[in-house]
Amino acid sequence: MVVLPGSTRRARHYAALAEALSDSYTVHVVERRGRGRSPAQDAAYSLDVEISDALEVLSETGSRQIFGHSYGGLIALHTGLRTDLDRVIAYEPAVSIDGSMPSGWMPRYERLLSEGKDARAMICFFHSMEFLPGGPLATAVAWAMTRFTAEGRATRELLPTVLAESGATKALDSGGERYAGITAPVLLLGGGRSPAYLSRILPLLVETIPDAKLIMTPEFDHNAPDLSAPAPVADLIRA
C-alpha cells in the first residue's frame, strides 16, 4: 500500500499508521514534493506532478492500493482516475466541489509569506481552514512554535508548499462529475470533529463514484490518520 501525506505533513507523521498496517500490508509512505530529499515544487507544479510521482511509486513497489490523507487524498483519487487499482482509500480528501474548499485566504497568505511573517501566515492558513483559532494570542503561540520547537520549525519549512497545493486544489474545483471515472473500489473516511466543508463533500463523492463506501467516525478529527487516531484508522482500512 502506498500512503500519501497531506499538506504540512511529511512521511514521518504517518509512521504510526504504517506500523499499525504493517501486519496486513507492506506500506510505502511517500515523501512528497517539497519535502526532505524529494524534488522541490517548482513553477510548473500541479497535481499532475504528484500523480506522476504516485504512479511511479505504485509501479516500482508493485502496490495495488493507495491511501491519501487530505491533499494526499485528492492525489489518491486522481491517481485512481489514471490507472487500475485494487482499492483507493481517502481520508477527508481535499476535493473542492462547487467552491466548497476555502480559498479566499490565499492572497493574504502569499503576501504574509513574501514579507517574512511566517507565524502570521501559518495562523492565516490554519484559522481560515478552521483548524485553529485566530487572533494575536494564536499568532504569538505560532511564532514561538516555529522558532523554539522542532515540529514548529518543520511546519515553518513547509509553509511555501501550502500555497502551491491549495492552488492546485482550487484549480480542480468542479461539480465533482470527473470522479465517476474511478473504476476501483473507493473507501472514503471522515470524522465528526472535522470542519464541515471537509465532511460535506463525502456523501457527494459516494453518490458519484461507482463503487464507493463512506465510514464516518464521530470522535475522529481531521488529523486522525497522522496524529490523533492512527491505529483506529488502520483498523478501518483493514476491515
What's the confidence (pLDDT) of residue 131? 87
Determine the average pLDDT of the residues in 25-32.
98
Which comes out higher in pLDDT, residue 109 or 147?
A: 109
Determine the average pLDDT of the residues in 136-156.
80
My answer on whether 70 and 14 are in the same domain is yes
CA distances 143 to 62, 160, 227, Å, are 43, 16, 22
Please state the pTM of the whole predicted model.
0.94
What's the confidence (pLDDT) of residue 82? 98
My answer on whether 6 and 124 are in the same domain is no
My answer on whether 57 and 88 are in the same domain is yes
**For residue 75, what are the contacts with CB-CB under 8 A and spacing of at least 6?**
4, 47, 50, 51, 54, 68
| Helix segments in 62-135, DSSP class H | 71-82, 106-114, 118-128
Write out the residue range of the structural domain in which residue 140 sits.
106-169
Determine the average pLDDT of the residues in 12-36.
97
- R_g of the chain, CA atoms, integer Å: 17
Residue 220 dihedral angles phi and psi, to the nearest 5°: -80, 145
Q: Give the residue from 169, 195, 224 where a domain finishes.
A: 169
Q: Give the residue from 121, 137, 169 where a domain finishes.
A: 169
What's the confidence (pLDDT) of residue 149? 82
My answer on whether 96 and 180 are in the same domain is yes
My answer on whether 189 and 124 are in the same domain is no
Q: Indicate the number of domains in the chain.
A: 2
**For residue 66, what are the contacts with CB-CB under 8 A and spacing of at least 6?**
1, 2, 3, 4, 54, 58, 76, 79, 80, 85, 87, 88, 89
My answer on whether 71 and 145 are in the same domain is no
The answer, yes or no, to whether residue 160 has pLDDT greater than 90, is: yes
Q: Give the residue from 169, 193, 221 where a domain finishes.
A: 169
